[in-house]
Structure 1
Amino acid sequence: MADVAADGAGAAVPPAGARAPGPGAYPAAWEADVVLYDGSTTHVRPIRPDDAEALQAFHLGQSERSTYMRWFAPMERLSERDLTHLVTVDHDDRVALVAVTGGDGPGDDERITAVARYDRIDPDVAEVAFNVSDAHQGKGLGSALLEHLAAAARERGVRRFVAEVLPQNGRMIATFREAGYAVRQHTEDGVVSVEFDIDPTERSLEVMADREHRAEARSVRGMLGARSVVVVGPGSGATGVTVRLAQTVTGALRAGDPTLPVHTVGVPGRPGEADRWAALAELPTPVDLAVLAVEAADAEGFVRALARHGVRACVLLSAGFGETGAQGLDLQRRLLRAARGTGLRIVGPASFGLVAVRPDGSVLDASLVRETLPRGRVGLFCQSAQVAVGLAGAVRRRGLGVAQFVSAGHRADVSGNDLMQFWTDDESTDVVALALESIGNPRKFQRIARRLSATKPVVVVTAGRSGQVVPPGHQVRSTYAPARTLDEMMRHAGVIRVESTGAMLDLVQLLAHQRLPAGRRCAVLAGSATVAAVVVEAAAGAGLVVRQDPVVVPEDAGPDAVAAAVEQVYAQDADVVVAVRVPTVYGPDPVLHRAVAEAAARTGRPTAACFTGLSGITADLTAPGPDGRPCTVPAFGTAEDAALALGRAARYARRRAEDRGRPVAPPGVDVRAARRLVRAWSASDGAPVALDAARTATLLSAVGIGVVPAVPARDAEEAVRAARAMGYPVALKTTVPALRHRADLGGVRLDLEDDDEVRAAAAALAAVTQGQRPAVDEAPLEVQAMVEQGVSCVLRSTEDPLFGPVLSFGVAGDATDLLGDVALAMPPLTDADVAAFVRSPRAAARLYGYRGSPALDAAALEDLVARVSLLADGLPELRSLELNPVVVTLDGVRVLGARAGIGPADRSDAPARALGR
């Protein structure tokens, strides 16, 4: 019998004499850190035999009601036999996960706060049980453990969970339903039996993403909204940079909000300098935020001590961690484990700090910024402290107001993903900008940014065009994807990628102070005909369209002429305006500045200006709009910069208005069946496995993809017999890898009508391939039935260690390969994504009626791509897949060749919620 605790379900101890299975290899990959509903963190891991004492303590801490719900009977203590059974699992048929806090510190044992387990009943079904500590109810531990237990079960081949729940335990049944699963239940003998399939559904994935979003946003909100802060410095007698860090941030905190309680520990020249540990013990409780400027070796101890004062986040200004080598990386990992085990978030190491404007107008300035930043509605994130210095200076010079400014340093914990989760719902932020040196989890970045960019512009600059730069201290997986993969990921996420921090701030100042353009039509106001021609060219290069003549206002024009010129340009049928005036003799013209500002505010027409003497956000180009709120035309350094910013804003507006489509869901796709096949075929030692043609075809059939059969032949006579069996006409192909499927290189002979033609083709192929070996363990020839004429294409999927599944598509041929005319996409995809994907290569025009040829069946091709994307997304064990050639015909697609390889799953963004490692 099974039972259920208040926030979980339970499973009974086996009858006397039952033998616990021997433990299998500990699945370290199942360990994860999770953000809970209240913004705190917990560590989830498989149970271990040495957890017996902690499990007993967990049991003893439960109320009588929870104990009864767990065991259906009073049970003061767990017997030794019970404990041995509960902590001894094989991580296959019997799996248990625990959520723990604390641990890994002197005298700081781990404490279990929740347990989830399953016991397999048959190959496909397991009985599930949950139990959550009374002291940790309401934090979402049950739902978090359910996600991770279901992920582990799917990995082990389980398809369905069952549980028995007491009727009064409606919370647990609700947990199953609210997770997005289709729960079936019935009541018998006073017990509610529930069951549900555990494969991810569109609904369950939405629920997980929404829970992740709310938890991580709340975590950041608590950090940025801190109402009390402690600064921990290096202590008395210290010298060097840590002293300056501690003193600078203390001054910034007091200057930003004189009413903010700021406690100091070990900050030279401040109270609490002499004995840091004694001063720390006397801190009031709780303290919301800590700022650490200490030696790297001391950070872990202070994090553990601060957690006991209710600190929820630490800004770590100090360096000396992962960037210094193996020893520093070990310090960083221990620090992160201590923080997450005690529920803290870490901003850093080597952070520049954070600045946040609160709703009441007060400022939390826990940063090293030397001068106060202007207040505004821009959310700004960067990593390196050195980059933050430059950004802060540029923001100040431009007068660009920020709502939040966060530097994550080496982003051991808090990352741009966390900030984007917060900005999605933050009403004080209109525009988001990120300066990234590395992206640790591109799949999660894409998912979060896609959601954020649907409502707010997101501008991104990365270190290097490929995004494959890994600065010291950043823990990032290697990648083998093409350099432009990051571009495609950003495009799919809906963000605006720019090439420099200057271009990023150019665009941000426009987006923060002007409306989004309604289109690409551009009107031009210039100080001379020559300048007007330059501006028109710049506008065209930025993707704007100038359809009416520019309006020229000479530098010696009087006020009436200036007003008339401005009125004329804003009367044009245009969506945006570029105004440029760089006088050679006269100085700045306040009359022109005021006229442009007032016209832009009155009409709401997005405007960018390039006026001598003005830069960024200025009062000279600010005027009240119809609603009385000020509207500012941003000033740019060059006309090209102004046009480029407007062009990028117009493209973003167009993309945001487009229908993003629905997740692809073609009929007949059974990823679960594919997962079972891969599980059966995988090597016991985890080595990669190249699937043969038969297994590849079987795998593809699980998602509704058929492969035209090819019969191997060792010589011409075998080829003749195969051709007779399948019926003429046939194609004869070589299996030499370099020539396989290459009719243009003589590796394929088509439309063979009889035995003699097959024999002649075999002889010709032998001559072409002389001296070249066929593929391993394959005959030199293969025979295949002819299919209708069409355009040959290649569709591939590769599991990249960093990006996850990456699809590529192109029209077959050397020109495609040599010119790189290949589209890239990263699942999951919508139907709109798929349609854009197959149209992206330039040679794809051949599919749509190029030069009068008939349009082919693009819908069938899109269906094929959708099936491959679902297989690649849902099967991380699929290391590679190549469909080559895929012949697109008038009435369908024909897959003539397929190759696949499988291996152990190792994806950075698993379905269950988890922070980066």
Structure 2
Amino acid sequence: MTTSAAPRHWEADVLLRDGRTAHVRPVRPEDESLMVEFYSRVSEQSKYYRFFAPMPTLSEKDLHRFTNVDHVDRVALVVLLGGKMIAVGRFEVTAPGEAEVAFLVEDAHQGRGIGQLLLEHLAQAGRERGVERFVAEVLPDNQAMIATFRDAGYRLVSDYDQGVMALEFSIDPTDTAIGVMEQRDHRAAARSVERFVNARSVAVIGASRRQDSIGQALVRNLVLGDYTGKVYVVNPSATPVSGLPSYASVGDIPGEVDVAVVAVPADSVQDVVLDCAAKGVHGLIVISSGFAETGEEGRVRQRKLVGLARSYGLRLMGPNCLGLINTDPGVLLNASLSPLMPPRGRAGFFCQSGALGTAILKKVYNRGLGLSTFVSAGNRADLSGNDLLQYWEEDDSTEVVLLYLESIGNPRKFSRIARRVSRRKPVVAVRSGRTTQGVPMGHSVRKIGAPPPAVDAMFRQAGIIQVGTLDEMFDVAQLVAHQPLPRGRRVAVVGNSDALALLATDAAATEGLVVNRQVSLGPDAGAEDFEDALDAAIDDPEVDAVVAVYIPPLNTSGVDVANVLAAVGEQSDKPLVTTFLGAEGVPELLRVPDVAGHTAGRGSVPSYPAVEAAVRALAHVVGYAVWLRHPGAEEDAEADALADTERAGDADPAAARRLVNELLMHHPDGLDLDPAQAGQLLAAYGIDLWPTRSVASLAEAQAAGAELGWDVVLKATHERLRNRPDLAHVWRNIETPEEMASAWRNLSHVITDPATAGFVVQRNAAPGVPVSVSSLEDPLFGPVVSFSLAGPLTEMLADRSYRIPPLSAQDAADMVREVRTSPLLFGYRGSEVVDVEALERLILRVSRLQNDLPQVRSLDLSLVQVGDEGVAVLNAAVRVEQVLDPRSDWFVRRLLSPPGDTLPG
């Protein structure tokens, strides 16, 4: 048997159903001893279900066969935990495109979703090896295995013969199968975080009696925060700390330990991991520094730490982090270095910087905003913002999600999760390094290669409210946490200051809002005047939100007006914001009591020190409300987008995939497709590339014109000419050999060095607007599609829109309309309105092609003529390259790899 190496990306850390981790990798010949030990722990019944006969031990022949595979026609994956094999799954090709699949899971680990994980990873490996369907033989009473196949989301075909069920199913990743996988990932990640947030017992490892030590601060914050669970102190000296008994090691603690907070020197943390694994601890919060933030030696130490923790099933927060806070009265967990416990609120906050986390908590406290949970993940080597998003999606205590992101470890996964979460609750984000795309020290990610506007587009597509600063984040948060969402962009301004009202109106115009009602009450207006004006504004059907401006007269406290604002804010179904006394946050006078114990109840009125900040926050929330009302808002956005791409036209992805794979077999280093190859690829997605004939002489140009049936153009294609609007490089409407000769002479006379002009002949397109549709595959970010009007001026002004596939019909429509030059498509100054629907269909087809084929490194339809009856694709440049990991994380669950590793997260 010829053995080939297994692809590196087939190896992955995975998250099990109960929130613990394990490791999946291809089987190796040296795994024989692990296989023997594993098989000895499997029950006789499980062995019988696997082999349909008693098989108490494995023969030497079986052992060799099970551990020696070619990773092509015979593929086997094993699951490891704590250095032990706990499961194995395999498939063997039995016919072209068909393979038989089987699993065996150790009894002690059944029910943890391991069989489902193995099926996902085997199916992806099968797709990469040309397998299209799996078959399996299962005994009828092996209900657990039948359920594994049935619940995978694939369409099963079953048969029954001689007491055995034969199951067959296509492993094509259908919408249903992907949805099932994402739901399992969601539940596992949420469960993993929940065991941190609601820990019933915490051990502080490295606690000390020294008042200035980190360990002492951690114990003190837990105790003074009134934590309702058990606190254990671990210190080799075993002396009491803060009145609590101390234990020499985690193993000496008499009770169970859910979470260990680690504050020992960096080179001692790995020993702590082993102790915690032996104790059965769920997760570690590593406060210790000295890891990836310190340089290469620290990165190696961090990579080993994460690998060790995951290999024993432990999740890890940090290292180099501030910690975790849960304000739930039933928990009151302050497992952080912050002595400040924020008030109870509706917002969950995730950040990465520990130093910034302390400042954030002070801002939250000063504003009276309140948090449900706070996580500062430090280097974010394991537990990430994606995990917290999955937890907060289901957490009833969290109604708003706040993210301060210094890097995005897995943009593709982040986009999918955020889009789903945003349908249920607002997600507000600040992203540092937007212009530099830099990666902070210690963060285990690569730099995103996609342009910054593409990342911004991904945020918009996902419904994320992206703001520029922390102050803007809190401005938005205090609005969405306490007030209803607006129905539209129409605003009423009510106030006792004409100057501030004018500023509010100007700010509204700048932010894309429309002031439909403006009420000036005068400087002497009292509480009753405000109440009447606010009620009238809220009752006005032409008003969607109200801005109340109040500057108190001299020697007036404003309490009466505050009572009116609070009463109106509590009862209104439209958002109300104010600049009450220039206060910031949710002042006590404007708070509504909350029965759930939050610092401010629903209906409390947020205040802003400047009216521009109030209007800007309102505009951000209006944008989110508009996004929610897009078609398909009630359905899963990604499934909706995939359905819309189907409506883009007939496509044959299999034919396109065969073409690309065949080309790459002969050009393993990649190649730029010639016009015929590009035309064949585009035709698979219903895109008609107009034929082009390169010509080097007049005779060739005349022959090309005759071949194309005349009514052709002669044009120069060299970059220096196409981007010079002051130079003539195209001669149109050529009908005869004589006209071609005239065109050739004239262009050769105008163009310097015509020999390098790159002349081509092409059919003459109908009048219209030239546009450009492009796509690319970023190794980290994934597929990106862009649109602009063609020409150097739009390129210089960066007037281009971006979206992340899969695209919905609404996404394509938005792309066309958001470029600043879009009026040229819609009859600008009396010009013809072009066929915008045809253009949108073209964008959807390009999106689907790029989404289906990660091997397409770039695709540039640099000249598309959009007329009043369709589009003409006149030029295409396509680059294809080998892909080491063809987005396998789209179809299998896996954890972000430690820094320095190349596995996808």
Report the TM-score when normalising by structure 1.
Answer: 0.90
Change (3 A) 1:423 1:773: farther
Question: Structure 1 pair 890/188, CA: closer, same or farther in 2 (3 Å)?
Answer: farther
Quickly say closer, same or farther: Cα 1:130–1:693, change in 2 above 3 A.
farther
Structure 2 match to 1:748: 730
Render the CA deviation track for 1:298-337: whole Å, top value 9, x for unaligned.
1122112202222111111111111111111111111111
Match of 2:269 among 294, 299, 309: 299
Instruction: Tell me which of the two structures has the higher relative contact order, counting C-alpha pairs closer than 8 angstroms and 6 or more residues apart.
Output: 2
The 3-state SS of whatever aligns with 1:632 is: coil
Q: Could you tell me which of 707, 710, 735 is aligned with 2:692?
A: 710
Residue type at the aligned position of 2:421: L
In 2: Cα distance, 1:772 partner to 1:475 partner: 51
Contact persistence 1:601–1:625 (CA under 8 A): no
Q: The residue matched to 2:655 in structure 1 has which SS?
A: helix
8 Å CA contact 1:510–1:608 kept in 2: the answer is yes
Cα shift readout 1:72-110 (whole Å, capped 9, x = no counterpart)? 2222222223222222223223222211112xxxxxxx2
Change (3 A) 1:723 1:408: same
CA contact (8 A) 1:254 1:260 kept: no
Task: Read off the aligned partner of 1:915 and give its amino acid letter.
Answer: L
Displacement of 1:570 after TM fit? 5.1
After superposition, residues 413-428 of structure 1 pair within 5 angstroms as: 413-428=382-397
What residue identity is the alignment partner of 1:357? T
2:228–2:331 Cα contact (<8 Å) kept: no
| Residue range with higher mean Cα deviation, 31-40 or 719-728 | 719-728
Does the C-alpha gap of structure 1 residues 298 and 721 become closer, same or farther in structure 2, counting only changes over 3 Å?
same
Q: Is 2:337 the counterpart of 1:356?
A: no
- TM-superposed CA distance for 1:472, in Å, is 0.6
Letter in 2 for 1:374: P
Partner residue in 1 for 2:418: 449
In the alignment, what sits opposite 1:13? none
Is 1:43–2:15 an aligned residue pair? no
SS at match of 1:851: helix
CA distance in 2, matches of 1:394, 1:59: 57
1:39 alignment partner, SS class? coil
Give, in angstroms, the shift of residue 717 of structure 1.
1.7
Cα distance change, pair 680–176 in 1 and its aligned pair in 2 (3 A): farther
Residue 623 of structure 2 aligns with an amino acid whose one-letter code is R
Given the superposition, is the C-alpha separation of residues 741 and 203 from structure 1 closer, same or farther in structure 2, using an over 3 Å criterion?
farther
State the Cα RMSD in Å. Answer: 2.9
Match for residue 695 of structure 1 among 677, 694, 710: 677
Query: What displacement does 1:417 show?
Result: 0.9
Q: How does 1:150-549 map to 2 (within 5 A)?
A: 150-233=123-206, 244-266=213-235, 270-271=239-240, 278-358=248-328, 361-466=330-435, 468-549=437-518
Runs of at least 5 residues in structure 1 that lack an aligned partner in the other structure: 1-19, 103-109
The residue number in structure 2 matching 1:635 is: 607
CA–CA distance in structure 2, aligned partners of residues 887 and 389 of structure 1? 55
Say if 2:545 is the partner of 1:588: no
Distance 1:844 1:172 in 2: 55
**Does the residue aligned with 2:249 lie in a helix, a strand or coil?**
helix
Indicate the SS of the match to 1:444: helix
How big is the shift at 1:811? Answer: 1.4
Report if the CA contact (8 A) 1:723-1:783 is conserved: yes
Distance 1:130 1:438, change over 3 A: same
Shift of residue 569 of structure 1? 5.3
Query: Cα deviations across residues 234-258 of structure 1 (Å, max 9, x unaligned)?
Result: 779xx89xx7221111111122235
User: Contact 2:348 / 2:372 at 8 angstroms: preserved in 1?
Assistant: yes
State the AA in 2 paired with 1:281.
G
- C-alpha displacement of 1:637: 1.7
Deviation for aligned residue 1:587: 4.9
Q: Is the 8 A contact 1:228 1:260 kept in 2?
A: yes
Q: Secondary structure at the match of 2:279?
A: coil
- For 1:164 and 1:289, the matched residues in 2 are separated by 42
Aligned residues: 880
Cα distance in 2 for residues equivalent to 1:684 and 1:478 = 31
Q: Which residue of 2 aligns with 1:75?
A: 55
Deviates more, 1:558-567 or 1:590-599: 558-567
CA contact (8 A) 2:582 2:610 kept: no
Partner residue of 1:665 out of 646, 662, 686 = 646
For 1:792, the equivalent position in structure 2 comes to: 770
TM-score when normalising by structure 2: 0.91
Are 2:227 and 2:333, in contact at CA under 8 Å, matched by a contact in 1?
no
**Aligned in 2, Cα 1:88/1:431: closer, same or farther, shift over 3 Å?**
same
Q: 8 Å contact 1:376–1:401 — kept in the other structure? A: yes
- Whole-Å separation in 1 of the counterparts to 2:673 and 2:44: 55
1:732 paired residue number:
714
SS at match of 2:772: strand
Distance 1:383 1:389 in 2: 11
Aligned identity (percent) is: 43
Given that 2:565 and 2:590 are in contact with CA atoms closer than 8 Å, whether structure 1 keeps it comes out as yes
Give CA-to-partner distance per residue, 1:508-543, whole Å, 9 cap, x none.
Answer: 111111111223332223232223222332333333
Partner of 2:5 in structure 1?
25
User: What is the distance in 2 between the residues matched to 1:671 and 1:52?
Assistant: 41
Q: Is the 8 A contact 2:234 2:248 kept in 1?
A: no
Query: Which one-letter code corresponds to 2:42 in the other structure?
Result: Q
Task: Give the 3 Å change call, closer, same or farther, for CA 29–684 of structure 1 in structure 2.
Answer: farther
**What residue in structure 1 maps to residue 625 of structure 2?**
653
Kept after mapping to 1: 8 A contact 2:712/2:761:
yes
Partner secondary structure for residue 631 of structure 1: coil
Whole-Å Cα distance in 2 between the matches of residues 297 and 35 of structure 1?
26
* Cα deviation 1:42-75 (Å, max 9, x = unaligned): 1111222221211222222211122122222222
Change (3 A) 1:911 1:132: same
Q: Give the counterpart of 1:845 among 820, 823, 826.
A: 823
Query: 1:691 touches 1:899 (CA, 8 Å); kept in 2?
Result: yes
SS of the counterpart of 1:518? coil
Q: C-alpha separation between the residues in 1 aligned to 2:879 and 2:584?
A: 56
**Contact 2:772–2:787 at 8 Å: present in 1 too?**
yes
User: Is the partner of 1:76 in helix, strand or coil?
Assistant: coil
The separation in 1 between residues aligned to 2:448 and 2:620, in whole angstroms, is: 29
8 Å contact kept, 2:652–2:684: yes
Aligned letter for 1:90? D
Of 773, 779, 782 in structure 2, the residue corresponding to residue 804 of structure 1 is 782
1: CA distance between counterparts of 2:5 and 2:719?
39
Name 2:635's counterpart in structure 1.
Answer: none
* Partner amino acid, structure 2, of 1:377: R
Tell me how far apart the structure 1 counterparts of residues 886 and 347 of structure 2 sit (CA, whole Å).
Answer: 33
Alignment partner, residue 15 of structure 1 = none
CA contact (8 A) 1:551 1:565 kept: no
Separation in structure 1 between the aligned mates of residue 193 and residue 612 of structure 2, nearest angstrom? 37
Give 3-state SS (helix, strand or coil) of 2:481's partner: helix
**1:532–1:552: 8 Å Cα contact kept in structure 2?**
no
SS at match of 1:154: helix
Deviation at 1:650, TM superposition (A): 2.1
Match among 832, 839, 846 for residue 810 of structure 2: 832
- For residue 497 of structure 1, report the CA deviation from its aligned partner: 0.7
Q: Give the whole-Å Cα distance in 1 for the aligned partners of 2:538 and 2:222.
A: 46
Using the TM superposition, give the Cα deviation of residue 630 of structure 1 relative to its aligned residue in structure 2, in angstroms: 6.1
Gaps of 5+ in 2: 633-639, 898-905
2:637 alignment counterpart: none
The secondary structure found in structure 2 opposite 1:655 is: helix
